[in-house]
Amino acid sequence: MRKHFRQTHSFTVLMLAMFVAQLSGCASTSASPSTTEFNAPANDVSNANEHSPQHQQQHTPPAVVEQYSDVWEKIQHANTIDVHDDAEVRKQRNFFDDKQKFMNQVGERAEPFLYYIVSQLEARNMPLELALLPIVESGYNPLAQANGPAGLWQMIPATGRNFGLTVNSAYDGRKDALASTDAVLDYLQHLYDTLDKDWINAVAAYNTGELVIKAAINKNKAKGKPTDFWSLGIPAKRVQTVPKWLAFIQIIRAPNHYNLKVRPIANRPFLDRVPAPNGVDIGQIANAAGLSKAEFKTYNPGFRQGVIPSKGKYQIALPLENIGQYQENHDKLYAQKRYDSQSYIVKSGDSLGTIAAKFDTSVKALKQANNLTSDRLKIGQELTLLTPMAANDNAPEPAKANTKSDSKAKSSTKTNANGTKTTSSKSADMPTAKAKTYKVKSGDSLDKIARKNKVKLADLMKWNQLNSKSIIKPGQELKISE
């Protein structure tokens, strides 16, 4: 018995020493790196520890959500998109090799938005590699503006409106990083479903147009050939986004191999959205949330004016850590001076002075409201005019929103009782399945029409032979069932 005790005791001491050594090793290597270095897939790490004593004693498996602390690393391990060893992809990869300054910029700009984009892709069961598309489109700059396209995803106005974004003189939903992500993912899913279930086809169509890729697919089908992107033989010049996007997939999968380091972005929510207070100066909102005006604009680049539009429902994005402070100060915003906004189209003979006099404002106020740096105006240019809101409009936004929806419901009931506008009220109550067509109204978009009639946007587009760039006009009749 004594001999057995000694052996057991020695074994215990030995195991204890090994365990302490293991803990020391962990302590020396667990510090967070300043940049992300992907050396081995997480699965390989798990397998290496599978037979260790510590692993055997662990009965509760780690939660999946905790598997990656860095969002880039999560994308790296997705492995959904198959990247061929293509000459154009290699060319793009070589171009970005060692471009550390650019990658630093991308990491800094992407930090507020990347988690949201990846979480939305994950929720929709879409490839996480699609989160790299804004690197190619805009360098992850939500304020990026070309001739027509704008925002992180570089959407054109017609596509943005068709997929539910508001684009006007006061607000551009394409520059709202969160709202535009929702719209773009709807669009990419539509393209994937339409273009033979191929995600690279979808990205190619996003770049060059749905009809171009559809024609190439139909041509291959007629010849009995495959319809995946690599079989379509589309010249690289027509789909420049594709090889760049595929090159970045390879770079993110192994950045060290390309002399690059990727700034880590925490795998947890950064922003959340709350209702925006109509007519309030964005400087006051920023102050209420404990942010600088520049920080607020970084998270909310969709607002084109110095105030939240006075009409319509909008949302603002705030860092989670600032939402509590904003809610505490929310009601105080309505005690401040608020503004009503309206649009004015510049006519022949107009000047800032004549417009200011006509609307009882100043040239300085007019220039501030429209971010103008010179006095020059163009015929047809849209200007925003700000006038102080009436005192009785100073109710908190949630109350206004509820009252508005309640009054809408009541007026709908009154309309039925009085017998006026019977057609519109009946169509609201009538099951949408019975309707065959829908007449487009002013302010409609394909997304709004689809939601109003409870049909899929993809179906609506298919039934009417429309694509993302199609323009619909008031009075136009659309099929809303097959």
Task: Tell me the pTM.
Answer: 0.67
CB neighbourhood size of 160 (10 A): 29
Chain-wide mean pLDDT for the chain? Answer: 78
Q: What is the mean pLDDT of residues 180-187?
A: 96
Q: Give mean pLDDT, residues 198-211.
A: 94
The pLDDT of residue 429: 42
Matching residue, tokens 């489109």: 137
The alpha-helical segments, DSSP class H, found in 332-378 are 352-358, 363-369
CA 225 to CA 217: how far, in whole Å?
A: 9
Question: What's the average model confidence in pLDDT over 80-99?
Answer: 91
> With bands split at pLDDT 50, 70 and 90, how would you rate the model's confidence at 413?
very low
Residues recognised as catalytic: 137
- Residue 23 tokens, joined: 């803990």
Mean pLDDT, rounded, for 66-72: 84
pLDDT for 207-240, tens place per residue?
999 999 999 999 999 999 999 999 999 988 889 9
Mean pLDDT calculated for residue range 98-116: 94
- Residue 440's alpha-carbon distances to 109, 157, 432, 481, in angstroms, are 39, 18, 15, 15
Confidence at residue 230, expressed as pLDDT on a 0 to 100 scale: 93
pLDDT level of residue 101 (50, 70, 90 thresholds) = very high
In whole angstroms, give the CA distance from residue 375 to residue 364: 10
Tokens for 455?
């049909």
Give the lowest-confidence range in 138-147, 354-363, 418-427, 452-461.
418-427
pLDDT at residue 63, rounded to an integer: 41
User: Nearest CA to 140 among 238, 248, 68?
Assistant: 248
In the chain, % of residues over pLDDT 70: 75
Give the range among 21-25, 239-243, 244-248, 404-408 with minimum mean pLDDT.
404-408
For residues 170-193, average pLDDT: 94
Number of helices and strands in the chain (H, E): 23, 6
**Residue 454: pLDDT above 70?**
yes
Rounded-to-5 percentages of helix, strand, coil across the chain: 55, 10, 35
> CB–CB of 471/158 below 8 Å?
yes
In 3D space, the residue among 136, 109, 384 whose CA is nearest the CA of residue 243 turns out to be 136
β-sheet bridge partners, residue 382: 345
Place of tokens 């479903």: 193
* Alpha-carbon span 285 to 443, nearest angstrom: 29
How confident is the model over 177-194, as a mean pLDDT?
95
pLDDT at 424: 40
According to the model, what pLDDT value does residue 435 have?
58
Residues 234, 236, 237, 238, CA torsion sign: positive
DSSP element (H, E) containing 386? strand 382-388
Which segments of 4-106 are extended strands (E)?
A: none
At 312, the pLDDT band (50, 70, 90 cuts) reads confident
122-161 pLDDT, tens digit each: 999 999 999 999 999 999 999 998 888 999 999 998 899 9
User: Is the predicted pLDDT of residue 276 greater than 70, yes or no?
Assistant: yes
Residue where the block lists tokens 């709350």: 274
Higher pLDDT, 458 or 233: 233
Tokens of 462: 């298919």
What's the farthest any 2 CA atoms get from each other in the chain?
110
Q: What percent of the chain has pLDDT over 90?
A: 46
pLDDT above 70: residue 427: no
Is residue 478 predicted with pLDDT exceeding 80? Answer: yes
pLDDT of residue 200: 96
**Above 80 in pLDDT, residue 265?**
yes
pLDDT given for residue 214 in this prediction:
95
Of 154, 160, 130, the residue nearest 142 (C-alpha): 154
Residue 198 has pLDDT above 90, yes or no: yes
Split at pLDDT 50, 70, 90, the class of 114 is: very high
